[in-house]
Amino acid sequence: MSKYKLVHYINQFYGGIGGEEKADIPAEKRAGAIGPGLALNQAFGDEAEIVSTIICGDSWFNENLEEAKKTVLEMVREDQPDVFIAGPAFNAGRYGVACGAISEAVKNELGIPVVTGMYIENPGADMYREKVYIIETKNSAADMRKAAPKMAKLALKLAKGEEIGASAEDNYLPNGIRKNFFEKKRGSERAVEMLLAKINGKAYTTEYPMPDFDRVDPQPAIKDLSKATVALVTSGGIVPKGNPDRIESSSATKFGEYDITGVEDLTAETYETAHGGYDPVYANQDADRVLPVDVMREFEREGIIGKLHNKFYTTTGNGTAVASAKKFAEEIARRLIADGVDAILLTST
């Protein structure tokens, strides 16, 4: 029996070409398995193999969406694979969106089964979970060893035309389609086991997850704004020209703290945006459009506020994990409180 043929899509990083500095490379195709494809091939055993790998820069794909899809579709069409696999993207936002978009295109336009993989908080997961099969992964490539066998298993089932089970059985993100299956234990026994695990502080998985609403009680209003110190914080990626701390354009792992003592206006010569999720033209022309230092200085002169804090904090919000965002917020808040700041103006894109 001949092996099933697969085409694998990965980004420039996993293709071994480079990081963010190479994110603008157009799609190219190479023979055989590369990077994570080696782990997938191992998981396929003697049943399937990756015949070619398509490598594409995350920025190029997302900034040239129609051209990118057309280019990659033609590359896939040339090999006529039994299954198309993209990623896994883990928590890389632009990579996840690219994996979802090209998987949907291959499925709909070429009629080829598709599988991709990503972390549940990846923006691509919300966008494409109801359109293609997305194996749930952890948030980093450290999970590759576990993710590859799950993706390979589902890909083989699709190649063989076997019935796909419920999401809990085949490890893909719930896609809105319910499927009945028989559990090994009756419901009452499972419920008691979950209760005992919870009482004893052990890990358990509920069969009916409830939404987790993060509610924050508002602080009391400032009584006299004219005496308040106000700070600027943004997820719009405004940084000094040249992005000295190399804050990532997506899936940020850091934030920046910058001194604006004596700065009255953010000019095109001194500030820019590092954010990759929106058209940067207007922000680069005048960064005050995202981080309004000019207006806050006017308020300061007019006595509307006591003073503008001499530092601002910035990061990029697109694709950034909620856990990372919370960590940034806690550290920024700690520094602002230590500096005696009374309020912040938080801006986005």
Does residue 109 contact residue 60 with C-beta atoms inside 8 Å?
no
Whole-number Å distance between alpha carbons of 347 and 21: 27
Decide the pairing of beta strands 229-234 and 307-314.
parallel
Mean pLDDT by 10 residues, the chain (349 residues): 91 91 92 95 94 94 92 96 95 90 96 95 88 92 92 95 86 78 83 93 82 80 95 96 90 91 96 87 95 97 97 89 84 96 93
User: What's the 3-state SS for 202-253?
Assistant: CCCCCCCCCCCCCCCCCCCCCCCHHHCEEEEEECECEEECCCCCCCCCCCCC
Distance (Å, whole) CA 300 – CA 229: 10
Query: How is domain 4-170 classified at the CATH fold level?
Result: Rossmann fold (3.40.50)
Residue 179 has what pLDDT? 66
What is residue 1's predicted lDDT score, i.e. its pLDDT? 58
Domain-by-domain residue ranges, the chain?
4-170, 225-347
Residues 6+ apart with CB under 8 A from 330: none
The amino acid that residue 305 corresponds to is I
For the question of whether the overall pTM of this predicted structure is more than 0.85, the answer is: no
Half-sphere exposure of 18 (CA within 13 A, CB side): 8
CB burial of 291-307 (b: ≥16 within 10 Å; e: otherwise) equals bbbbebbebeeeeebbe
Give the tokens for residue 228: 């308040």
Residue 133's beta-bridge partner residues? 115
